[in-house]
Amino acid sequence: MVAVSDAIERARTLLELRRPADAERELRGLLAQNPQHSAAHSFLALALLEQGNPADAVTEAYEAVRLAPDHWFPHYVAGHVHYRERRPDLAMAAVQAALAISPEHVPTWTLLSRTHMLTGHWREMADAARRGLAIDPEAAEPASLLALALVALGEAEPAKAAAAQAVRLDPDSATAHLVYGRAALAFGDPREAADAFREVLRLDPGFDQARELLVAALKRRNPLYRWLARFQSRFRGGWWLVFLLPAVPPVIIVFVLIALLHWAAWIAESWTTLRLARAKATRLLFEGAESRVALLCCCLPALGAALLALGITLGQDALGTGGVAVMALVTPVQEAAHTSAARARAILYGWTGLLGLAIVASVALGSVGPALLSVYAALATIWVAAGVRRVFRKEQAPL
C-alpha cells in the first residue's frame, strides 16, 4: 500500500512539474501491478491529456469512473478532460456527478465555473465561483473566475474587487494578474491594464494571451483609437434593419455610416499597430504577420487614393472607382486577420481575394459597375465576417 501511495504521489508531482511523459511511465508501471487502481487511471488520463492524446485520456477517465463510481475524483477528472476538449455538455454532467458525491471540494466548483465560461453562461459561472470561495475564501482561482464572469456581465466595481482579491491571494499567479488586467482594460484603464499584462509576461514569458492583451492595452491608450474600438466592438447594426429598407429606405444611411466608421476603426488599428511594431520598446510584442498586415492596410488607402486621383485626372471613371474599392479593402483584410478560427479566417481571406480580382477585372475592362459593387461588398464585410464567425464559433478559443 505504501508503494502504491508513493507511486501516485510521484505521478502527481511530475504532473505539477509539467512532466506528463514521466508521470505516464510511473502510472503505467503501477497499473501493470494493480490494474484496478482507480486513482492511477485518473492521473493517467491527466497525463495523456497533457501530451495531446485526448481519446486515450477519455478512455482512462471512464475506466476510473467505472472502477470507483462512488468517489468524486474520477468524475472530476472526466469533467476536466471533457472541458479541455471543449465538450461542455459532457463536462457538465461529470462535474455535477462529482458535486453530488462530494460538494465540499473547491476544484470541482472551479471546474464548474470554467465549464459555464465555455458556454457563455456568465451568471452561472459567477455563482459557481462564489460557491468555491465560500468553501475556501483564500482560493485565488475562484476569485479570478468570478472577476472574469463579472467583467462579462459588465459589473465594473465588483469585477475590479474580485480581480484585486485574486492578486492579493496569489501575487505570483500569472492568471490572477491577467484577470486583473482584463478587468482594468474592460472598464477604461488601459495604463493599469498594460502594467498588469507586463507582470504576467514577467511571471510567464510564454503567455501568448497576455502579449496580445498588452498590445490591445497599449493601443487603447490613444483616445481616438479607444473610441473607435469601443464603437466597433459594440455596434454593427442589427440585421433586422434590412427588413425596414422597403418601408424606410433612408435606413440604408445607417448601414453606410456603420460601415464607414468600422473602416475608419480598422485604419486606426493598422496605423497604431504599425507604429508600435516599429517602436524599439514594443517591437518584440508583435509577430511578423501582424506588422505585415498593418503595413498592407496602411498602404491600401494610399494606393487607392493615388488610383482615384489618377482616374479623375484621366477621366476614367472605372479607374477612380477601383481606387475607392482598393481603399475599402482594408475592412476585409483586417476582418480576416482578426478572426481566430482557422477555417473562418481562410474563408474571409478567400472573400478578400475575390474582391481584389473583381477590382482588377473592372479596371481592366473599364466597367464602373463591378468596381462600385466591390466597394459596397468590401465595406459590408463586417456583416459577412460576423456570419462566418458565428458558423465557426465552436473553433474559437475560450476566454
DSSP states along 21-88: HHHHHHHHHHHHH-TT-HHHHHHHHHHHHHTT-HHHHHHHHHHHHHH-TT-HHHHHHHHHHHHHTT-H
Residues 77 and 127 placed together within one structural domain of the fold: yes
Residues 322 and 188 placed together within one structural domain of the fold: no
pLDDT value, residue 287: 74
- Domain range holding 270? 232-395
Tell which residue, 279, 260, 175, 152, has the closest CA to residue 221.
279
Tell which residue, 366, 297, 351, 350, has the closest CA to residue 326.
297
pLDDT value, residue 399: 46
Domain contains 246: yes
| The total number of structural domains that make up the chain | 2
> Mean pLDDT score of the chain, rounded to an integer?
89
Query: What is the pLDDT confidence band of residue 395, given thresholds at 50, 70 and 90?
Result: low
CA distance 161 to 163: 5
Domain of residue 95, CATH code: 1.25.40.10
Residues 103 and 179 placed together within one structural domain of the fold: yes
Residues 209 and 307 placed together within one structural domain of the fold: no
pLDDT value, residue 1: 45
Angle at 345 between CA 91 and CA 306, to 5 degrees: 155
Give the cell for residue 380. 459590408
For the stretch 269-311, pLDDT in tens is 898 888 888 887 777 777 778 889 999 999 999 999 999 999 9
pLDDT value, residue 216: 81
Residues 183 and 49 placed together within one structural domain of the fold: yes
Domain contains 227: no
Residues 254 and 216 placed together within one structural domain of the fold: no
The answer to which of 231-245, 328-342, 370-384 has the lowest mean pLDDT is 231-245
Which residues have C-beta within 8 Å of that of residue 355, sequence separation ≥ 6?
325, 329, 332, 374, 377, 378
Q: What is the average pLDDT across 78-93?
A: 95
Which residue, of 222, 250, 276, is where some domain finishes?
A: 222
Provide the 8-state DSSP code for 159.
Answer: H
Tell which residue, 276, 297, 298, has the closest CA to residue 287.
276
Which residue, of 167, 192, 222, is where some domain finishes?
A: 222
Which residue, of 222, 243, 274, is where some domain finishes?
A: 222
Q: What is the average pLDDT across 205-233?
A: 76
Domain contains 368: yes
pTM: 0.68
Residues 263 and 296 placed together within one structural domain of the fold: yes
